[in-house]
Amino acid sequence: MVVLLVAVWRLWRRRLALLLERQHRLEQERNRAEEQTRAMERLLVEARQATRLKTEFLANMSHEIRTPMNGILGMMSLALTTELTGEQRDYLETSKRSAEALLALLNDILDISKIEADRLELDPVDFSLRRCLDEALQVLSLRARQKRLDLLCQPQPEAPDALVGDPVRLRQVVVNLVGNALKFTDGGQIAVGVNVESQNGRQVTLHFSVADTGIGIPAEKHKVIFEAFRQADGSMTRKYGGTGLGLAICSKLVGLMGGRIWLESQVGQGSVFHFTASFGLSKRPGEVTPAHPAREAEAQTRPLRILVAEDNAVNQKVAVRMLERLGHQVAVAGNGLEALAALDRQPFDLILMDVQMPEMDGVETTAVIRRQERATGAHMPILALTAHAMKGDREKFLQAGMDGYVSKPISLEELIVAIEALEASRPPAPA
Ligand code: ADP
């Protein structure tokens, strides 16, 4: 009996020891797993922080790069309006084209990082599809003529014209695809087509195609060329140039427009790029605004007294000269405090306010002005002058009490449009 009991006791003890050991092992494993989870969480936080820093860095870099670009492009535009010899005009025009190419590249890099950081937003307005396409192709028709290529645009008659969507981004996709078609085609034609993929009461999905008779793309590259920095052939890069960003941007923009992008191509025969995009149907056909208002670079509004608040000396000069060319009277302040002092000294009709300034920035200065106005009931029109155009910025500036914004580098056309819009919304002066 005793022997049996001892045996059972030993058995139990061994079992217990095993169980305890197992529990200990499990606990150790759990601790390890928890530690791993914590490490992963730390890494995730760090990765998110790094992405945010990268986006912020790019936004700041873009400001830093655009500021001198504003000076370069602005001064060249102004110089081109003066009397020049043919040779001087040629040099200046070539420099301006190079500066514009540099700016386009910068915008591409900024676009791709904005998209990656989920900070690119569409700006929907009523627009005319055919006018948007015409404007896109107008930019490229000169290059087509130079290469002796036919450039055709044939939207199907049933494709509705009065749409609601972002014509600027649609044009960007079309310009990119047609630009590529021109680049990779040496003879024949490029044809842009549009037809209706589907339509219900308020929405239409359009199918766009850009067909060329160029070098074509091998089947195994059909997917990778939509990735950022990827090109069909590394060696081609030297022949054709480019960054490999265009199609990646197109693909993301098309995604934002609720569509998709794909291609058919045969090496040596040509390529057809297709994309779809969804739009609203405009309730106000006939009232649609042109996608990019073509303006005479002449003042349409009465002469105004304008205060330019901007800290960068070159940018001050660009803004002042442009506004003076439009027939306005201009005074300059180097920061927000100086702007407030100038407002105390004399009346103005409008302020062009740089957002980033030393001492007191544009947002803070606007807040002070708006606070002062609460007592008087007056309203000074303020246009933000900004090198940022990130998602949420427009809302931020409008919330800060600004009435609109002009992005740098300032163009005469954009200035005219912004000032006219402000003038049009100004309540009539009391009689
Ligand atoms: P980039 O043109 O700046 O190189 P993209 O992203 O616009 O960048 O195009 C990526 C690559 O896809 C090009 O380098 C080229 O190899 C190929 N590709 C794009 N469009 C065409 C086309 N119409 N015909 C032939 N190859 C093309």
Contact by Cβ (8 Å): 167, 198: no
Say what the pLDDT of residue 392 is. Answer: 62
E strands present in 243-375:
261-266, 270-281, 305-309, 329-333, 350-354
Question: With 50 as the cut, is the pLDDT of residue 297 above it?
Answer: no
CA distance 340 to 403: 17
Who has greater pLDDT, 284 or 343? 343
Contact by Cβ (8 Å): 320, 330: yes
Please give the distance, rounded to the nearest whole angstrom, from the Cα atom of residue 164 to the centre of ligand 1.
Answer: 29
Most confident of 67-81, 211-225, 290-304: 211-225
What residue has token string 């998602």? Answer: 391
Q: Is the alpha carbon torsion for 288, 290, 296, 302 positive or negative?
A: positive
What residue has token string 């645009």? Answer: 153
Say what the pLDDT of residue 272 is. Answer: 97
Tell how strand 305-309 and strand 270-281 pair up. Answer: unpaired
Give the side-chain half-sphere CA count within 13 A for 171: 21
What is the mean pLDDT of the segment spanning 338-350?
92
Say what the pLDDT of residue 429 is. Answer: 55
H-run or E-run covering 154: strand 150-155
Question: With 70 as the cut, is the pLDDT of residue 390 above it?
Answer: no
What is the mean pLDDT of the segment spanning 307-325?
88
Please give the distance, rounded to the nearest whole angstrom, from the Cα atom of residue 231 to the centre of ligand 1.
Answer: 6
Contact by Cβ (8 Å): 246, 129: no
Q: Where are the alpha helices (DSSP H) in 184-299?
A: 234-240, 246-256
Contact by Cβ (8 Å): 354, 307: no
Say what the pLDDT of residue 294 is. Answer: 40
Say what the pLDDT of residue 254 is. Answer: 96
Q: Of all atoms in ligand 1, which is nearest to the CA of residue 216?
A: 25
How confident is residue 286, by pLDDT bands cut at 50, 70 and 90? low
Who has greater pLDDT, 424 or 392? 424
Who has greater pLDDT, 318 or 38? 38
Please give the distance, rounded to the nearest whole angstrom, from the Cα atom of residue 184 to the centre of ligand 1.
Answer: 8
Contact by Cβ (8 Å): 122, 170: no
Which residue has the least CA distance to atom 16 on ligand 1? 232
**Token code pair at residue 317:** 């000069």
How confident is residue 143, by pLDDT bands cut at 50, 70 and 90? confident
Closest listed residue to residue 252, CA positions, set 355, 308, 172: 172
Q: Measured at the alpha carbon of residue 406, what is the angle toward residues 67 and 422, in degrees to the nearest 5? A: 155
Give the range among 201-205, 225-229, 302-306, 382-386 with minimum mean pLDDT.
225-229
Say what the pLDDT of residue 293 is. Answer: 42
CA distance 392 to 176: 26
What torsion, rounded to 10 degrees, do the Cα atoms 141, 142, 145, 150 define? Answer: -10
Please give the distance, rounded to the nearest whole angstrom, from the Cα atom of residue 430 to the centre of ligand 1.
Answer: 59
Task: Among 174, 225, 251, 274, name the best residue to mutate to test ligand 1's pocket (greatest count of ligand atoms within 8 A of Cβ).
Answer: 225
**Token code pair at residue 104:** 């386009």
Q: Which residues of 347-373 are buried (b: 16+ CB within 10 A; e: fewer)?
A: ebbbbbbbbbbeebbbbebbebbeeee
Question: With 80 as the cut, is the pLDDT of residue 288 above it?
Answer: no
Most confident of 115-119, 173-177, 325-329: 173-177
Say what the pLDDT of residue 279 is. Answer: 96
Who has greater pLDDT, 190 or 99? 190
Give the range among 105-114, 150-159, 216-225, 360-369 with minimum mean pLDDT.
105-114
Over the stretch 349-388, which tens digit does the pLDDT of each residue have? 999 998 888 888 888 999 999 998 988 888 899 998 886 5
| Beta bridge partners of residue 135, listed in sequence order | none
Mean per-residue pLDDT over the chain, rounded: 85
Closest listed residue to residue 161, CA positions, set 290, 275, 261: 290
With H, G, I as helix, E, B as strand and everything else as coil, classify residue 105.
helix
Please give the distance, rounded to the nearest whole angstrom, from the Cα atom of residue 134 to the centre of ligand 1.
Answer: 23
Share of the chain above pLDDT 70, in %: 89
Contact by Cβ (8 Å): 406, 415: yes
Write out residues with Cβ below 6 Å of ligand 1: 180-181, 184, 212, 214-215, 217, 225, 231-233, 236, 242-248, 271
What is the mean pLDDT of the segment spanning 121-138?
88
Q: Where are the alpha helices (DSSP H) in 159-257?
A: 167-183, 234-240, 246-256
